[in-house]
Amino acid sequence: MSAEREADTSMTLLERLQNNPGDPQAWSLFVERYQPRIRAWCLNWGMQDADADDVAQEVLVKLFAALRKFQYDPARSFRAWLKTVTQHAWSDFITARCKDPGHNARPVDTITESAEAQSDLERQIEDAFDAELLELAMHRVKRRVKPPTWQAFQLTVIEGLFGVDAAQKLQIPVAHVFMAKNRVQKMLREEARILRNEPR
């Protein structure tokens, strides 16, 4: 793995975007990861397909702009920072819609005024971020354990095999499968804690 790729996998996508807003690969991944959740949120709140596409794109642009302006404080929770960024992006989105002279009232306008909808959007973005953290934590842990240890975790937790079946497949004792699974889960929790900058 190259040093550049190593650096990419040592920080979250949001950190990469904040450090280098012009990174086209990070922007592409950002859209790929967050756009479907924002679009699904739009549809869930009653928007039509075309409106959902437009709003998702606009919110992403506002979120990206907010990411560029905010400075993350490592002493604070990353989730709290992300929530603040999302709130600012949503506020900018509403302000821009209200200022548009050609703006026609549509169902999306009632959503922009809903505190419940905003809170739900924050949850959707936090969920996408949590999925990203899990992926990054898994990448880090996988590099630190022996292949059979990771395979035992993958077979039982990710693929859902029973311990006996995983043990048979890996040709190791069942007890070793459960020990490996527990070890990896503990390491993942610790990595996620570190990535979120949470205290022990």
> pLDDT (tens digit, 9 = 90+) per residue, 134-174?
888 898 999 999 999 999 999 999 999 999 999 999 999 99
Going by pLDDT thresholds of 50, 70 and 90, the confidence category of residue 2 is very low
Task: For residues 94 and 118, give the distance between their C-alpha atoms in angstroms, rounded to a whole number.
Answer: 11
Task: For residues 64 and 83, give the distance between their C-alpha atoms in angstroms, rounded to a whole number.
Answer: 13
pLDDT value for 185: 96
Task: For residues 112 and 129, give the distance between their C-alpha atoms in angstroms, rounded to a whole number.
Answer: 23
C-alpha distances out from residue 30 to 5, 60, 68, 184, Å: 16, 9, 13, 27
Going by pLDDT thresholds of 50, 70 and 90, the confidence category of residue 4 is very low
Per the prediction, the chain carries an average pLDDT of 80
R_g of the chain computed on alpha carbons: 21
pLDDT value for 5: 40
**Cβ neighbours of residue 111 under 8 Å, at least 6 residues apart?**
45, 46, 47, 117
User: Taking 80 as the threshold, does the pLDDT of residue 108 lie above it?
Assistant: no
Q: Which of 48-62, 75-89, 141-155 has the highest mean pLDDT?
A: 141-155
User: Taking 50 as the threshold, does the pLDDT of residue 100 lie above it?
Assistant: yes
pLDDT value for 7: 40
Residue pair 127/37 in contact by the 8 Å Cβ criterion? yes
Task: For residues 66 and 142, give the distance between their C-alpha atoms in angstroms, rounded to a whole number.
Answer: 33
**Cβ neighbours of residue 119 under 8 Å, at least 6 residues apart?**
none
Q: Which pair of tokens denotes residue 54?
A: 């437009």
> What does pTM read for this prediction?
0.68
> What residue has token string 């937790």?
157
Q: What is the mean pLDDT of residues 70-80?
A: 65
Residues in the chain: 200
pLDDT value for 101: 64
